[in-house]
Chains A and B, each alone.
Chain A
Amino acid sequence: MAEKSLGQKLLGVWNTKTIVAVAIGAALFGVLMVYGGIPVTTNTNLTTAMVIPVVVGAFFGPLPALVSAGVGNVIADLIGGWGMWFDWSIGNGIAAFFVGLLPVYGAYVTEGVFNWKHAIIYAICVVVGNGIAFGVVTPIFTTLFYGGDLNVTFIQAIAGSISNIAVELVVGIPLMFILAARSKSRTNLKEEE
């Protein structure tokens, strides 16, 4: 596969396959958020949905991860029915962007490339991304949109990002190794252009 430019890696290639994958990622995110969650505090869940952006990011890049998490959260809000929380959707989208940076630093999971060096960079991205998304972005939008008290929002955001980071690290890293191993066994097969 030809080396892509940085911009291309960030944006992803928006062909039909990406669109379908992002849509399925969003649907998975929504379903897991509604049915696969364990409540922690108000507005926050210890949910396995947070791994979906990792998978989408690994396959297609950070922007598709952002879109699938954002749309997925909106869908989760609609089917789960706790009202629409755009602040959390935006926050989840931004966190997903950082989490989905995998191909940008050379972890091509689809080609079976994922080692401990990538795992460490991934862990840093997860912590920084969640910190920015739920420590800065979500509280700003919460106060802007819903007039939530900043102190309470901040505590919720901390609880939310800790549970997200836990899920993304504890579940995400082994999952990446599994996916990389699965893809590696198939890399000898080349698609004829």
Chain B
Amino acid sequence: MNNRFVINYTPGPTYLHQLSGFTKVLLFIVMTVAIISTYDVRILWPLFFICLAQMISMKPNWKPIIFMFLFTFVTVTLLGNVMLFVVSPDAGLNNCGTETIIWTSKTGRFYISKEWLWYVFAVFTKRTASFASVMAFALMTTPSEFASGLNKCGMPYKVCTIISLAYRTIPDIANDFIDIRNSMMMRGVELGKKASLGKRLKNNVTLLVPLIMSSFGKVTGIANAMDLRGYGKYKKRTWYAEHEPTKADRLVRGLTIALAVLTACYIVWSKAIDPWPAKIWCPFSDPSQIRNVSLEESFFLFRWLKSLFQ
């Protein structure tokens, strides 16, 4: 179980690990906004490589990361695209604005177009970049730094406490959970694949009551301990994990601000000054040919509602 954990509880030795919490949170927020703001693979791939470089520089344990990536790839990308193929083969037209069909099934219900493949590729790129940015952030940040950084970004400190406290209790709860599960299994409660779905759910529930009781039973003790140490007395608080900005912090913050400015310029440029006529930039489509498909046409619920009223 422990080898599946990516989050660290103690900061590591590399350059990025040594940054202060605020710098890390700032970098993550700017990166996320930059990735969310675009569908253009010419921008997403460089962003992905920046995140990948961050990950490589931290010399992580690659095994769980690769496992997670493959898991996401199979569940989200492969299965999701099979669903996409069945439900909306016209996704290429909806998002890129043109359609060059390269394969059609006998009935004509299913088809693949170049733009559909491009759409799949673009969404995959976007998801991979977002995965890499989350992983880079998770690898470099300890829960306390996450909380202190968020607080410095303007989040109320009580919410930040929730985050760091939740992280703190996870190993305890996970251990409790595994203990309870093992003792249940020893008494013959089947939780594995042998039992049917309904039975498994029911057995999972019998596991739940002791877990909830034991976990929430700790609340009063922890709350009293915090109150006794004067928690929540003042409107502000300082953080043990936050340190004065070092030279490295100033450099990374500068780069982050530069990235933020570039992102802002890009958003203004791509939305107002020189917008691409379709939702996703695509090398196969000729800008003059692009047809914008409205949401009523592409979304099956709206199509269905429309047909009801006609």
Residues of B within 8 A of A116 (CB): none
**Is B216 within 8 A of A23, CB to CB?**
no
A154 touching B80 in the complex, CB below 8 Å, given contacts A35-B174, A78-B6, A146-B126: no
DSSP majority for the A interface? Answer: helix
B61 sits at the interface (CB 8 A): no
Residue with the greatest number of chain A CB neighbours at <10 A, chosen from B178, B200, B209, B226: B209
How many residues on chain A are close to B (CB under 8 Å)? 59
Query: Which of B101-109, B164-172, B252-260 has 4 or more CB atoms under 8 Å from chain A?
Result: B164-172
A26 touching B162 in the complex, CB below 8 Å, given contacts A38-B200, A83-B131: yes
A78 touching B201 in the complex, CB below 8 Å, given contacts A17-B223, A19-B165, A83-B130: no
**Distance of A137 Cα from B32 Cα, bound (Å):** 19
**Is A82 within 8 A of B76, CB to CB?**
yes
Annotate A22-46 by CB proximity to B: 1 below 8 A, 0 otherwise: 1110111011100110110111001
**Is A151 within 8 A of B88, CB to CB?**
yes
Q: Quick one: which of A71-94 are within 8 Å of B by CB?
A: 71-72, 75, 77-84
**Distance of A38 Cα from B201 Cα, bound (Å):** 8
Query: Which of B14-22, B64-72, B238-246, B264-272 has 4 or more CB atoms under 8 Å from chain A?
Result: B64-72
Residue with the greatest number of chain A CB neighbours at <10 A, chosen from B80, B88, B119, B178: B80
A21 touching B208 in the complex, CB below 8 Å, given contacts A144-B36, A151-B299: no
A155 sits at the interface (CB 8 A): yes
A55 sits at the interface (CB 8 A): yes
**Is B169 within 8 A of A23, CB to CB?**
yes
**Is A28 within 8 A of B212, CB to CB?**
yes
**Is B162 within 8 A of A41, CB to CB?**
no
Task: Report the interface size class on chain B.
Answer: 35 or more
Residues of A within 8 A of B168 (CB): 23
**Is A31 within 8 A of B174, CB to CB?**
yes
B280 sits at the interface (CB 8 A): yes
**Is A20 within 8 A of B223, CB to CB?**
yes
A83 touching B134 in the complex, CB below 8 Å, given contacts A55-B216, A146-B123: yes
**Is A84 within 8 A of B123, CB to CB?**
no
Residue with the greatest number of chain B CB neighbours at <10 A, chosen from A22, A23, A77: A23
Annotate A8-19 by CB proximity to B: 1 below 8 A, 0 otherwise: 000000111101
Residues of A within 8 A of B65 (CB): 81
- 10 new A-B contacts, CB < 8 A, other than A28-B215, A150-B299, are A19-B158, A27-B166, A36-B177, A38-B200, A71-B166, A83-B131, A146-B127, A147-B279, A151-B84, A151-B87
A-B contact pairs, 7 of them (CB 8 A): A20-B165, A21-B223, A27-B170, A42-B76, A75-B170, A148-B80, A149-B94
Residue positions of B touching A, CB distance < 8 A: 4-7, 32, 36, 39, 64-65, 67-68, 71-72, 75-76, 79-80, 83-84, 87-88, 91, 94-95, 119, 122-123, 126-127, 130-131, 134-135, 138, 158-159, 161-163, 165-170, 173-174, 177-178, 197, 200-201, 204-205, 207-209, 211-212, 215-216, 218-220, 222-223, 226-227, 231-232, 279-280, 295, 298-301
Minimum-distance CB pairs A-B, first 10: A81-B68, A23-B165, A83-B131, A26-B166, A84-B134, A17-B223, A27-B166, A23-B166, A27-B169, A151-B88
